Structures are given as C-alpha cells and as structure tokens.
C-alpha cells in the first residue's frame, strides 16, 4: 500500500534495523559490503561502488566476522567517519574480519583503523588536512590508477594521520601532512587510503575504487538495471508461484516502479488498487489510469472516493486530525476494494534502500531514520506477505529502473507527494472548491518550473493555500481573496531541505499567471524557510 497517509506520526521515527536481515548473496553474485563508520560517508561510497556496476550494501560496524563470512562478500570497504581512533568508544572492526581473506579497502577513518588494528601507528594531534591536498606517489601501487600522475590532487578531511604502516604493508604515497597516505599489503589484499576517493574533488578517486573492485577484488562490472530486473523477476516468480498479489498505487515513483516490476514477473496475478482521494494533483489520476491500465496493461482497480474523503473532512481543521481522518478513510477504502481479492497473499510495496538504512550515528547503531511512510500506515491485521522489489535501491536507481521498464518521464520524475495529498496543503477546512483552486495554482507552479528547465534540480515545488484573505485590486475592482504560498525546496533526502533560490523572473511568471488565471487568488508569496526549522509541507 503506497501511502496510507501516515496518521500523526509523520516525522522521523525509529524502526528496527533490517540491514542485517537478508543474506544478500542469494540475490547478487558479487556483493561489496560497505562498513559504516559515519552514515553519510558510507552512503556515498555505496553509491560510487554501484556506479561501477558492482552491487554494494551498507552494514553497521558492529558486524562480526561470522556475519561477514556468512554473506560471502567479494570485498569490504571501510568508510570514513567523524571520530578519532584514539578516543574512548571509537568504533572499530571485529579484528577476525582481517583474517577472512576478503579484500579490504579502508578509506580515511577506515584506513587509520587498519593501521591501528594491524600494528601500525596513527599519530595523534597532528596538524590535520582539510580540503585539497597534493598526493605524492612514492612507490609502485596496486590501487592507485596507472594514469594518475606522480603528484595529483586528492580531497582530505582528517586530523590524526598514519605515521607508520603495520608490518607487511608498504606506504606508496604521502602528502605534506600524511606521511602514509596510501598503505598496501598485496599479499593479504588489504589497502588503505587516507584521502576520500568517493568525492568528486579527488579526480582520480573513481580510478582507485575501480582498480580495487575490478582488479584486486575481481568484481566484474555486471550490476546493471537490466540485471536487477532479471533477478527480481526470477525472485518474485519463485516467491509468488501461482498466488495473487495486490499493490496500492499512489501515483508516485516508488509504488509505480514496484508495480511495473512485479507485473513483469507475474502479469495478471497482480492487481493494483489506486485510491483517488480527491486530493491529488491536477491530472494525476487520469495519468495513473492511462499509464497502468492502457499503457502497461496492468489490472487496475480505480476507486474514485473523493466524495467520501470530503464528507469525512468537513469541519476538520487541526492538521493532525486531518491526517488521521484521511489515513483512516484511506485504509477503509483500500480494504473494501481489496476485500474481493480474498486469495491475495502478497502485498507489493515500494520500500527503498534509504528507508531501511540506519543513520545518525557514527557507530551505525542509532536507529532514527527517515519517516517510513509506507510501513507506517499498514493495517495491523493485514495478513499479507510483503514483496519489496526495490528494497536494495536508491531513489535515482529506482528512476533508472522505471525508465528501463517503460514508465513515462511524468511518473519516473514525479516529485514526492504526501499521502494526505493536497489535504495538508490547504490550511483550514478542506473543501472541493479549495482543492480545485489549489490544483490550478499548483499546476502553474510545476509547469513554469518545468518550462524553466529546473524540474530535476528541485526536490519539490508546489503551492499551498492559506486560510487568510487580503485586499487587492484588479482592474477597477477591489478584491478580497486568498493568497497562495509557493514552496520550492532543494534536498537530498527530505530530512533537511533549503528553500530554492528560484530566479526572480520565474517567480514573477508564477505570480502573474496564478493571480490572472486562478479565480479567487489575489496574492502570491514565496516561502523562504529551510528545514529545520520548518518542514517541507505546511501541515
């Protein structure tokens, strides 16, 4: 089920870590485990590995040698992290992991950890290096790319530095403040780089990862969207057999791609349910029906439930009451319309990898993650087995997959949209009239953004209808209308966001079109609040 509108707990909430749950090698031949010593570093490394067509997964640093061995990974990458290896309680690695014979690349903190745990020396309280530095190659290297010049730029961010490599290791490069900037033990297949190869400011960084993965760890570049589709199709067929699955479509990217993928695997054994709450964006419902029913030939139950939602929302003003009302109604409608599918045993959900990744702690044990809207609203008594074909993927990978599956750009590049829809973008009571007004204003905001070519740079851009009125003048007439608030934000993950610095001419076009074309709107304002302290949505 896509969205059940997240009752009152829409903000970040803890969920149980599921990262250690699945033995990955049943699904992928060559898995690289990225050991997390600092969430944001680990995610970037995991993505870079995948860009080199090798599947990667992030694991918490408390993982044991036995757990690593059970997963039979092709290689390990130890991420950077914010701590010093010298402080009490600094995260480390189960030392038995070094004896598993699995190739290891340590990055920054990861490199220092290798040095420290295997008997070298990490100097403390040195000057540190932050930003660009020049790497000097001092010996033959098995991980620095051949094409990287003897002296080249790298990106550094460290305070301590390795001063002595452990026995068996050779130092093959240095910088002014890092005497051992690269250390290598080719016999054991263990390598460390003090710099950050995963960032774009290290121009030969991808070359380091490429050499390590393809040459040292023997991972072929075979992980592509086509291979993901093939693997998921096989897996889904095997799990579902001749059973039936249902999928709640929200019109958003994740549930759409999940549905298209599962449909490719089991065809008519999948039934999709699209609940039109009447609170959707302009033209959205028509497009969902057109794409899924006509274009993809997917069996789709389209429930036009707007009237029910409006009746339920009459007189409701408090934001949390509104969310709860919409959420409850959604589940009721969903259940009523899947009641006929008594033999369905499986529920398809568009859960993504970031939904499962822990974040917020250098030790990888903190468990506050992005609000998990999809799971949040599932009816408790639903006895369906979950199918989550996108649970290994990042958002941009899901988009690529969607395109590969033949979904149109309008769906693949659709902005995130809250489960309660325009209901939480109308301040005060929600009525059909206000929804129509907001749909028009919102469509103008999005159309102008697209015309300016900024659609893919902006995380979300939309209109909000305020519950106040102001005086204006049109022609010779005094007006007393509603203002529309335009909200446009940039973000990577919706956890934090900044207001988008949209060009003034673009804002001017939005403003004049909205006031001219949408009856009842006589003023447009632009929201210049970041998150925090604001949230992206207004309610």
Active-site residues, by number, are: 108, 196, 198
Residue 4: CB minimum distance to ligand XMP, A = 8
Cis peptide before 532 (omega within 30 of 0): yes
Residue 352: CB minimum distance to ligand XMP, A = 12
Cis peptide before 316 (omega within 30 of 0): no
Residue 250: CB minimum distance to ligand XMP, A = 7
Stretch that binds ligand XMP, among 2-10, 63-71, 333-341, 406-414 (CB under 6 A): 2-10
Stretch that binds ligand XMP, among 112-120, 437-445, 505-513, 529-537 (CB under 6 A): 529-537
Query: Is 535 a binder of ligand XMP (CB under 6 A)?
Result: yes
CA distance 331 to 341: 15
Q: CA of 150: how far to CAs of 105, 193, 206, in Å?
A: 21, 16, 17
Query: Is 239 a binder of ligand XMP (CB under 6 A)?
Result: no
Do residues 325 and 313 make contact, with C-beta atoms less than 8 angstroms apart?
yes
Contacts (CB under 6 A) with ligand XMP, residues 332-391: 373
**Which residues make Cβ contacts (< 8 Å) with residue 533, sequence separation at least 6?**
none
Stretch that binds ligand XMP, among 3-11, 27-35, 237-245, 255-263 (CB under 6 A): 3-11
Query: Is 158 a binder of ligand XMP (CB under 6 A)?
Result: no
Query: Is 408 a binder of ligand XMP (CB under 6 A)?
Result: no
**139 or 379: whose CB is closer to ligand XMP?**
379
Query: Is 277 a binder of ligand XMP (CB under 6 A)?
Result: no
Query: Is 434 a binder of ligand XMP (CB under 6 A)?
Result: no
Query: Residue 60's closest CA among 485, 437, 431, 367?
Result: 367
Residue 314: Cβ within 10 Å count:
10
**3 or 61: whose CB is closer to ligand XMP?**
3
Residue 286: CB minimum distance to ligand XMP, A = 21
Helix axes 395-404, 225-240, angle to 10 degrees: 80
Contacting residue, 350, 364, 418, 481, with ligand XMP by CB under 6 A: 418
Do residues 52 and 45 make contact, with C-beta atoms less than 8 angstroms apart?
no
Q: Which residues pair with 244 in a beta bridge?
A: 344
**335 or 493: whose CB is closer to ligand XMP?**
493
- The binding track of 459-498 with respect to ligand XMP, each residue x by CB under 6 A or -, is -x---------------------------------x----
- The binding track of 4-33 with respect to ligand XMP, each residue x by CB under 6 A or -, is -xx---xx----------------------
Length of the chain, please? 539
CA distance 301 to 23: 35
CA distance 369 to 264: 31
Residue 466: CB minimum distance to ligand XMP, A = 16
**184 or 284: whose CB is closer to ligand XMP?**
284
List the structure tokens of 45: 């490394």
Query: What sign does the CA torsion over 185, 189, 192, 196 have?
Result: positive
Do residues 175 and 108 make contact, with C-beta atoms less than 8 angstroms apart?
no
Contacting residue, 60, 120, 419, 481, with ligand XMP by CB under 6 A: 419
DSSP string, 426-439: B-S---HHHHHHHH
Interaction site with ligand XMP (CB under 6 A): 3, 5-6, 10-11, 373, 416, 418-420, 460, 494, 531, 535-537
């Amino acid at each position: 089920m896509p969205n059940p509108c997240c009752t009152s707990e829409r903000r970040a909430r803890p969920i149980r870590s599921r990262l250690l749950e699945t033995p990955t090698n049943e699904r992928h031949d060559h898995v690289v485990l990225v050991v997390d010593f600092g969430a944001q570093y680990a995610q970037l490394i995991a993505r870079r590995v995948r860009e080199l067509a090798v599947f990667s997964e992030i694991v918490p640093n408390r993982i044991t040698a036995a757990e690593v061995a059970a997963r039979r990974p092709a290689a390990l990458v130890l991420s950077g992290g914010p701590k010093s290896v010298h402080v009490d309680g600094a995260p480390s690695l189960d030392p038995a992991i070094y004896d598993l014979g699995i190739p290891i690349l340590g990055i920054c903190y990861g490199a220092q950890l290798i040095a420290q745990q295997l008997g070298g020396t990490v100097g403390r309280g040195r000057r540190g290096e932050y930003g660009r530095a020049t790497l000097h190659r001092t010996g033959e290297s098995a991980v620095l790319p051949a094409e990287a010049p003897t002296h080249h730029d790298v990106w550094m961010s460290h305070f301590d530095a390795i001063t002595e490599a452990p026995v068996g290791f050779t130092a093959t490069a240095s910088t002014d403040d890092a005497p051992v900037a690269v250390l290598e033990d080719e016999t054991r297949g263990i390598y460390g780089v003090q710099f950050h190869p995963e960032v774009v400011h290290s121009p030969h960084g991808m070359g380091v990862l490429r050499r390590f993965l393809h040459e040292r760890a023997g991972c072929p570049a075979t992980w592509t969207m086509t291979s993901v589709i093939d693997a998921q199709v096989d897996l889904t067929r095997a799990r579902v057999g001749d059973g039936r699955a249902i999928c709640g479509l929200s019109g958003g990217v994740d549930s759409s791609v999940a549905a298209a993928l599962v449909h490719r695997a089991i065809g008519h054994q999948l039934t999709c349910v699209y609940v039109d709450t009447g609170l959707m964006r302009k033209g959205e419902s028509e497009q969902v029906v057109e794409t899924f029913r006509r274009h993809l030939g997917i069996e789709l139950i389209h429930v036009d439930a707007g009237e029910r939602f409006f009746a339920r929302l009459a007189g409701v003003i408090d934001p949390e009451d509104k969310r709860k009302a919409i959420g409850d109604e959604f589940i009721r409608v969903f259940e009523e319309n899947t009641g006929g599918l008594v033999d369905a045993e499986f529920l398809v959900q568009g859960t993504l990898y970031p939904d499962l990744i822990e974040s917020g702690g250098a030790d990888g044990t903190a468990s506050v993650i992005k609000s998990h809207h999809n799971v949040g609203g599932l009816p408790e008594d639903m006895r369906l087995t979950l199918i989550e074909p996108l649970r290994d993927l990042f958002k941009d990978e899901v988009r690529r997959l969607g395109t590969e599956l033949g979904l149109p750009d309008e769906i693949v590049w659709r902005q995130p949209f809250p489960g309660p829809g325009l209901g939480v973008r109308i301040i005060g009571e929600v009525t059909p009239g206000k929804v129509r007004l907001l749909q028009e204003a919102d469509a103008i905001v999005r159309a102008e953004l697209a015309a300016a070519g900024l659609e893919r740079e902006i995380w979300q851009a939309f209109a909000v209808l305020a519950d106040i009125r102001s005086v204006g003048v049109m022609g010779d007439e005094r007006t007393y209308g509603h203002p529309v608030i335009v909200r446009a934000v940039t973000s990577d993950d919706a956890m934090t966001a900044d207001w988008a610095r949209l060009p003034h001419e673009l804002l001017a076009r939005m403003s004049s079109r909205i006031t001219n074309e949408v009856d009842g709107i006589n003023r447009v304002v632009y929201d210049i609040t970041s998150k925090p302290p604001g949230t992206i949505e207004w309610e």
